[in-house]
Every structure is written in C-alpha cells, then in structure tokens.
C-alpha cells in the first residue's frame, strides 16, 4: 500500500510565495520539492531552492537549474528559464509574507525574520533603520529566505538516554533531566532536536512524563497559530509564544511550575540570568545556541558566562559531518568527558507526519 | 362607480408619490448613517492597528463588525480578498470590495458613493505598508475627511428629510387634482 506523505512545502510554504515562484516550486519533481530545506528570493535575481545536495535556480518548467553542476556555477549568465524575482514578484512576496501588516511585525523585522504558520522562519534583510544605536526596523528589503521547518518524530531517540536519568527504585521511580545545551551552526537541526526532546519528555515513558515549559520566542518549536501548537509537543507541554526568552522563562517558572524549560537560541546576558534562576528553582533547562564547537561558544561572552556558571550538565554538539543532524559529541560538562565513542546520525522513527525527513540527512 | 374609481386612483397616486418622497427622504438619513458607520469603522480600525497590532485582514473584519451596514460588507469582503492572497494590495482589495458594493447600493447614492468613500480608497493604498504610528496618521486623516462628509450629509438630511417627506404627498395631491 502506498504511504501517504504530507507535502509540507506545497501546503504551508507555497501559499506564502509569489505567483511565479509558487508555480515553479509546485512544478518541481516531488522528491526535490519534499527535500527542500530553503527557498531564497533576492530582489531582481533568480529565485533559488536549497536541498542537502546543493543549490539550484527555480525554473518555469519545473526542472532545477543546479548551480554546481555545469556552467551556472561560476558564470554570471542566468538561464533564460530561471524564475526572476521581479519587482512585482517581490511586492507580492512581501504582501504574502507580512499579510499586508508591516505594522504588526516591526519587532520581527528588526530581528530579521518572520515566522509563518507551521513554524517556518522567513529571514529578511534590507536597510536597517537605527534608533538610539539599535535597529528599530528594516526598510528596502532585498532578500528573503524561507527556511522549511519539519517535525521529525523520533529525532531525539538516541539522545534521550544521555539527558534523562531515573531516580528511585525500579517500582517507584521518577525521571529527572540533566540541563542540556545543544550547540551547532545554523541549519544542523538544533530546533528539530529540541522539539523532539520536548515532545518525548512531555509524553514520557511508563507514566513518567514531565511538565514541559516551552519558551518559543521565534514560534519555531511549537509553531503556534491562534494559541494552538502546530507541532506535537505532547500532553504536558505549555507554550509561551513570541516572548523574549528571559522574561518567558520567568513567567513559566512563576505561573506554570514546569519540570523542564525548553528554549531555542540563547545568547544574551539576560538569558544567562534567567537560566541561572531556573536552575536555582530546581527547573532543568534544555536550550540551544549557535556555535560550531565549544571554543566557538566560549568566544561568545553570554555563552561563556552561562558555561562558566555551570548551568548545564550535558552539552550536545551537532554537525553535518555524516549528514545534517550528526550528533558529533555529547559532553559531561562538569568533567569535560566525552560520552560518545563516535559521531552518529540522529534517527527518525517515522516520517509519515511530515514528508521528506529522510532526505534531510536523517536515516 | 366612476367617482369611486377616481377617488381610488387619486388615493393611489397620492400614496405612491408620498411613499416615493419618503424613500428619498429616508435615503438622506441612510446616507448620513452609512458615513457615520464608516467613521466608526475607521476608529476601530485605528485601535486594532495601532494598539492591538492585529493583522490587517482580522482588523478590517473587527472594524466592519463594529459598524455594521455597508462598512461591514465592504471590509469583510476586502478581508476575504486580502487573506486569499491572490488579489493584490490592501488598496486593490478595498477598491474591488467597494466596486461590488456600489453595484448593490441605493441607486440614489450610487453616483455619490465613490466620491464619499474616496478617502477610504486612498487609505487602502497605505494600509499595512508602514509602522503603526504612520498607519494611525493615515487612518486619522481619512477619518477626518469622512467626518466632514458625514457632517455635510447630516446637514443635507436635516433640510431634505422634511422637504421630501412633504413633497411626495404634495406632488401626488397635485397630480391627483390635475387628473380629476
């Protein structure tokens, strides 16, 4: 029997694309469309698709024009069939992405991204408007990057034994979680891993589910729409959406008494304080941060401070060495001991829910 | 029998003419009321946009619902077109919705409709395209223009309501006398 796979790109990304780019994406071969990780639009230049195997221009006939397979790689010549992002296309893209509501997205524009329904992040860059030395908003936007988020059920299966411990007797045990920091460069699966950790802790095993507080500043973990999470985070997860992390963590601790707080992309001094406070309250924190390795993390003042305070007990480093979502290292933070013998690819138990998981480097 | 027929004819003429006069009289009041509805809708739209930071489609729906009448129909239709995503800018959607509404509005005012709501069409071009402070300025400007139109319509309604209420019956009476 043929397995039905959800076409996430056609369902959730295409409605936000301008007409010509939308048609070009719809016309792509199914296997290419379902393995798209990014779609990039640049004003006055060809629209581009990104898959783990490489980048290509979108074409009106649906055939990917690969950039690294032939003359297009180092040539300024743009193939005639490439879909150009004309002014009309760009205006349409802006209207669709912002839903004609620039005023409602000032904070997001200042931060450089908008989150679409389904938790897909659209990065936006243009000319920054400064006020008091800080970015107030961006004008004359020139490029947008649709980053396609996929929930991979089971992505954290191999990780869970390293971050969860059972306390008590065999008959009367409870679960406790090590505070964990996940590090990697962009696009290596930090959010995907966090999301599945949150889901697994929330569901639990043998009645050992935990209250999980998700502080989802960028709406990527839960993909909330109208207050309802678009991703499966289990029965015990509470989500505070679009809230700055430090404040969100404090609100969670005060109001929802979570066992674990899950949050994405920490990196500010205020985050460090909030994590410290959570730890003092006996709440474990599972967070991610941008850094390619531990040395890189130590060079970021806020992360260095967090690590120096010993706020995290486990560290996970992701890379793309064996494919996207390679678990490179799992570290016992207090001793610096490596808990892994060798890197491995994180596994996806099932990809029926959101198609294309296997093509994202997950086996 | 002939006299009875004449009396019936005269009565019919007076009643029909009187009702026509009342319709015209009422339309002056309806006109002022519709413009007042638009002023209310824009006030709610300003609140939704500048304080609530509600997405434009939803904000237009809320604004329309609070005003009722033609603002409700026009703004709900414009919100549908906007959320559908295929029609164009907010201005295009509002213009399209207004054109559809013009086709169904009172024939007495269909000519004046565009003129009255020019401010809304102009506002539509700017809606959603800037920060909340700028949006509030645009809406407030359109609201002031509509308020002036409403005041003029109110003055016209005060004068013309009584005039046309009586005029219809008087003309009907004169026609009846002439026919008899």
Residue B134 zone, left/alpha/beta (φ > 0; ψ -120 to 50; rest): alpha
For domain A160-360, is the CATH number 3.40.50.300?
yes
pLDDT at residue A248 in the model:
94
The predicted-structure confidence for A267-306, as pLDDT tens digits, reads as follows: 888 898 899 999 999 999 999 999 988 889 889 888 888 8
| Cα distance between residue B64 and residue B58, in whole Å | 10
Judged by CB atoms closer than 8 Å, whether chains meet at A96 and B85 is answered as yes
Res A76: pLDDT: 66
pLDDT for residue A106: 86
Which tens digit of pLDDT belongs to each residue from A209-268?
A: 899 999 998 888 998 877 788 889 999 999 999 889 999 999 999 999 999 999 999 988
The number of beta carbons lying within 10 Å of the beta carbon of residue A186 is 10
Report CB contact under 8 Å: A99, B127.
no
Report whether A356 contacts A35 (CB < 8 A): yes
With an 8 Å Cβ cutoff, are B128 and A101 in contact? yes
Q: How much of chain B exceeds pLDDT 90, in percent?
A: 53
pLDDT at A323: 81
The tokens describing A17, both together, are: 């694309």
**Looking at residue A348, what is its pLDDT?**
55
User: Best-predicted range by mean pLDDT among A70-74, A320-324, A346-350?
Assistant: A320-324
Domain spans in chain A, listed from the N-terminal domain onward:
8-147, 160-360
Lowest mean pLDDT among A226-235, A343-352, B123-132: A343-352
Alpha-carbon torsion A124, A126, A131, A133, what sign? positive
Beta-carbon count within 10 A of B87 CB: 17
Q: Which of A240, A250, A185, A196 is nearest to A218 (CA)?
A: A240
> Is residue A358 predicted with pLDDT exceeding 50?
no
**B124 to chain A: closest CA residue:** A100
The number of residues making up chain B comes to 180
Nearest-Cα distance to chain A for B90, in Å, is: 7
For the segment B73-87, what is each residue's pLDDT rounded down to a tens digit?
A: 999 999 999 988 877
Does position A83 have pLDDT exceeding 50, yes or no?
A: yes
Asked if B55's CB is within 8 angstroms of A99's CB, the reply is yes
Averaged pLDDT score across all residues of chain A: 86
User: Could you read off the pLDDT of A167-188 as tens digits, one per residue?
Assistant: 776 667 778 899 999 999 988 8
**CA angle (A179, A183, A185) in 5-degree steps:** 160
- pLDDT 10s digits, B27-41: 888 888 989 999 999
């Amino acid at each position: 029997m043929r397995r039905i796979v959800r076409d996430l790109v056609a369902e959730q990304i295409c409605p936000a694309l301008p007409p010509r780019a939308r048609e070009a994406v719809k016309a792509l071969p199914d296997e290419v469309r379902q393995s798209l990780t990014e779609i990039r639009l640049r004003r006055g230049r060809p629209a581009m698709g990104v898959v783990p195997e490489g980048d290509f221009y979108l074409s009106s006939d649906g055939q990917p024009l690969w950039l690294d397979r032939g003359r297009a790689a180092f040539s300024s010549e743009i193939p005639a069939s490439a879909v150009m992002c004309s002014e009309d296309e760009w205006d349409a893209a802006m209207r669709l992405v912002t839903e004609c509501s620039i005023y409602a997205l000032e904070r997001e524009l200042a931060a450089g991204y908008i989150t679409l329904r389904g938790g897909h992040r659209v990065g936006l860059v243009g000319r920054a408007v400064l006020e008091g030395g800080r970015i107030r908003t961006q004008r004359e936007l020139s490029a947008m990057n649709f980053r396609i988020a996929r929930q991979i059920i089971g992505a954290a299966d191999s990780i869970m034994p390293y971050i969860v411990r059972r306390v008590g007797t065999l008959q009367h045990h409870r679960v406790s979680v090590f505070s964990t920091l996940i590090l990697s460069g962009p696009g290596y699966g930090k959010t995907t891993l966090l999301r599945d950790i949150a889901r697994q802790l929330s569901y639990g095993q043998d009645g050992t589910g935990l209250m999980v507080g998700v502080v989802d500043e960028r709406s990527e973990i839960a993909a909330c729409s109208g207050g309802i999470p678009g991703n499966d985070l289990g029965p015990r997860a509470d989500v505070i959406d679009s809230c700055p992390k430090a404040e969100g963590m404090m609100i969670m601790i005060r109001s929802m008494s979570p066992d674990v707080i899950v949050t994405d992309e920490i990196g500010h001094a205020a985050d460090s304080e909030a994590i410290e406070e959570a730890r003092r309250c006996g709440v474990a924190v599972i967070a991610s941060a941008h850094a390619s390795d531990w040395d890189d993390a130590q060079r970021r003042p806020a992360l260095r401070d967090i690590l120096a305070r010993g706020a995290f007990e486990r560290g996970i480093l992701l890379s793309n060495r064996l494919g996207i979502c390679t678990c490179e290292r799992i570290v016992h933070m207090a001793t610096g001991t490596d808990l892994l013998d060798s890197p491995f690819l994180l596994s996806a138990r099932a990809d029926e829910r959101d198609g294309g998981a296997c093509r994202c480097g997950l086996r | 029998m002939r006299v009875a027929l004449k009396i019936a004819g005269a009565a019919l003429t007076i009643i029909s003419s009187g009702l026509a006069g009342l319709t015209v009289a009422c339309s002056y009041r309806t006109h002022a009321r519709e413009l007042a509805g638009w002023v209310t809708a824009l006030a709610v739209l300003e609140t939704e946009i500048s304080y609530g930071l509600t997405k434009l489609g939803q904000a237009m729906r809320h604004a329309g619902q609070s005003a009722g009448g033609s603002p409700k129909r026009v703004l709900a239709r414009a919100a549908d077109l906007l959320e559908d995503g295929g029609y164009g800018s907010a201005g295009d959607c509002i213009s399209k919705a207004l054109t559809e509404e013009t086709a169904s509005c009172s024939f007495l005012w269909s000519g004046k409709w565009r003129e009255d709501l020019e401010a809304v069409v102009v506002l539509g071009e700017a809606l959603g395209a800037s920060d909340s402070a700028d949006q509030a300025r645009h809406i407030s400007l359109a609201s002031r223009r509509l308020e002036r139109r409403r005041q003029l319509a109110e003055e016209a309604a005060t004068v013309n309501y009584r005039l046309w209420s009586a005029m219809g019956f008087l003309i009907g009476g004169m026609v009846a006398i002439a026919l008899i």
